Amino acid sequence: MISKKSLIIVITGVSRGLGRALSEKFAALGHTVAGCGRDEGRLRDLGKQLGPAHIVQAVDVLDWPVVKGWADDVLEKYGAPDLLINNAGVINKNNRLWEVPAEEFSNVIDVGLKGTNQMLRAFLPSMLNARRGIIINFSSGVGRVGYPQIAPYCAAKWGIEGLTKALAQELPTGMAAIPLSPGPVNTDMLQSTFGKKSAANYRSPTEWAEQAAPYILNLKASDNGMSLTTP
């Protein structure tokens, strides 16, 4: 657990869903959020809601020059983040694996894995120099056990597990990298997989963030490499 009262928290995928809900909750708790996503309209709304103390910007996590430029701006203004949360991801339309279009398969893997790596490349060196910070890469229960019709998404999330556990062994003492599953939440992704009616049986992102944000803030260096799930 990081002892600073006010943390610098970088989050990807804040346009909607879990990323937006976490951004709102972290800001409400007095922390500073640097968030990015791809939906410019939603990002403008979030930026107005959070206020000028926070940075919310349109960034494609696959565009390295844009990622690097945004990260440099964040680092110049705030310094190394205390928390780096890689939440950005996309899911394929329900389909049997051999019928998923190649481009769609690649996009799921690229955003989920390559996008995460881009953010690590951009922010991790500053965290290493400071010799502090916790990296949270959002995994998924379906990535750990598999689920029909969304094999590409399962593969991306299983990849996050392996990537994060390997990274955890490379970090110095006092830091942590954690593959974290949010559990089932009524997001656009869950609706895509289960249908809106079934997804409605689960918590909204805002309800989820009420418990998830404090849980995340209490993660500590001894959690390094552990596959965890939010309450």
Q: Which fold has domain 8-229?
A: Rossmann fold (3.40.50)
Quote the tokens at residue 31: 């922390």
Question: pLDDT of 150-166, one tens digit each?
Answer: 999 999 999 999 999 99
Q: Has residue 196 got a pLDDT over 80? A: yes
Q: Which of 78, 153, 202, 215 is catalytic?
A: 153
pLDDT, mean over the chain: 96
Res 51: pLDDT: 96
- pLDDT tens-place string over residues 58-83: 999 999 999 999 999 999 999 999 99
- Residue 145: per-residue pLDDT: 95
Q: Enumerate the domain spans of the chain.
A: 8-229
Q: What tokens were used for 58?
A: 């349109």
Mean pLDDT to the nearest integer, 98-115? 98
For residue 86, report the phi and psi dihedrals to the nearest 5 degrees: -90, 100
Q: Which pLDDT belongs to residue 2?
A: 47
Question: Which pLDDT value is given to residue 4?
Answer: 60
Is residue 78 among the annotated active site residues? no
Q: Are strands 8-12 and 228-229 parallel, antiparallel or unpaired?
A: unpaired
Share of the chain above pLDDT 70, in %: 98
Tell me what pLDDT residue 5 has.
Answer: 81
The pair of three-digit structure tokens given for residue 115, joined into one six-digit string: 């996008």
What is the mean predicted confidence (pLDDT) over 53-57? 97
Question: What integer pLDDT is reported at residue 85 of this predicted model?
Answer: 98
Enter the pTM of the model.
0.96
Q: CA 11: distance to chain centroid?
A: 6
Q: For residues 125 and 122, what is the distance between their CA atoms, to the nearest angstrom?
A: 7
Helix, strand, coil percentages for the chain (3-state, nearest 5): 55, 15, 35
